[in-house]
Amino acid sequence: MPTIDEPTIVHATKPRLRGWLHLGMAPVMLIVGIVFTIFAPTVEGRIGCGIYTLTAVQLFGTSAAYHRGNWSPKALAVFRRLDHANIFVFIAGSYTPLTLTLLTGTSRWSLLILIWSIAVLGVAFRIAWLSAPRWLYTLLYIAMGWAAVGWMGQFWATGGAAVVVLLIAGGVVYSLGAVAYATKKPQLSLKWFGFHEVFHSCTIIAAVLHAIAIGIAVF
């Protein structure tokens, strides 16, 4: 993403596809999330899918607005805080329906408390320290995304192999996208498709894999 040098941000030339990928993904996630929420067979499933839908639309919608708009320095700083903070919220939101439908008792609450506590701390971190090193908050995203590895055995036992395979595959794709974001590579086309579009493409692919996993788990 752009640096904290706000005048540079405002006048920087963005690839023409900047923001369009997430703009297209936002309504898709809204529709899928609404379907999941309405037709989930359990109360836990409906609550989890409702939370998931809100976090997904918030992530992709805010990202689209941030990257497509030509904002003033003050507005850009606000959008950047929201965009970065939303990643923590979406990770927690993605785990929520899986946790509510596949886990019970202490396991359920321990994972929910863990991921949402990290999300709250992550939001506070990105809002308070906007100029934090790119590598630092990227590592935090990756670490949070893999925080539920200890519960994968229970996900497998309750949801089946497909759920776990899809979660791991999505995690790998998210991690590859994070590497592209942190290193600013590959820069495929400065005019159309830069490293940031690679990052956004990875988030979309991974989100689709995780949405399928959530669908399998809930239904």
Question: What digits encode the pLDDT tens for the residues 141-191?
Answer: 999 999 999 999 999 999 999 999 999 999 999 999 999 999 999 988 888
Residue 167: the pLDDT is 97
- pLDDT computed for residue 11 by the predictor: 44
Q: What is the pLDDT of residues 76-85, one digit of tens each?
A: 999 999 999 9
Mean of all residue pLDDT scores within the chain: 92
Looking at residue 188, its pLDDT comes to: 85
- Where b means 16+ CB within 10 Å and e means fewer, 21-51 reads bbeebbebbbebbeebbeebeeebbbbbbbb
How many CB atoms lie under 10 A from the CB of residue 131?
Answer: 8
**Predicted pLDDT of residue 13:** 75
Provide the token pair at 199: 């990052």
Alpha helices in 40-151 (DSSP H): 43-68, 73-102, 105-128, 134-145
Is 208 a residue whose pLDDT tops 90? Answer: yes
Q: Would you say the pTM of this structure is higher than 0.85?
A: yes
Beta carbons of 101 and 52 less than 8 angstroms apart: no
Contact 65, 86 (CB under 8 A): no
What pLDDT was estimated at residue 45? Answer: 97
Q: 115 Cβ partners below 8 Å, 6+ apart?
A: 91, 92, 95, 96, 99, 144, 147, 148
What percentage of the chain carries pLDDT values higher than 70? 95
- Asked if residues 66 and 83 have their Cβ atoms less than 8 Å apart, the reply is yes
The percent helix, strand, coil of the chain (3-state, each to 5) is 80, 0, 20
pLDDT confidence of residue 9: 40
4 — pLDDT class (breaks 50, 70, 90): very low
Between 190 and 39, the higher pLDDT residue: 39
Would you say 30 and 57 are in contact if contact means Cβ atoms under 8 Å apart?
A: yes
* pLDDT recorded at residue 12: 58
Query: Is pLDDT at 3 greater than 80 in this prediction?
Result: no
The residue whose two tokens read 């609450």 is 109
Q: What is the pLDDT of residue 149?
A: 93
DSSP 150: G
Token couple for 30: 């809204």
Look at 26-35, 89-98, 182-191 and tell me which has the smallest mean pLDDT: 182-191
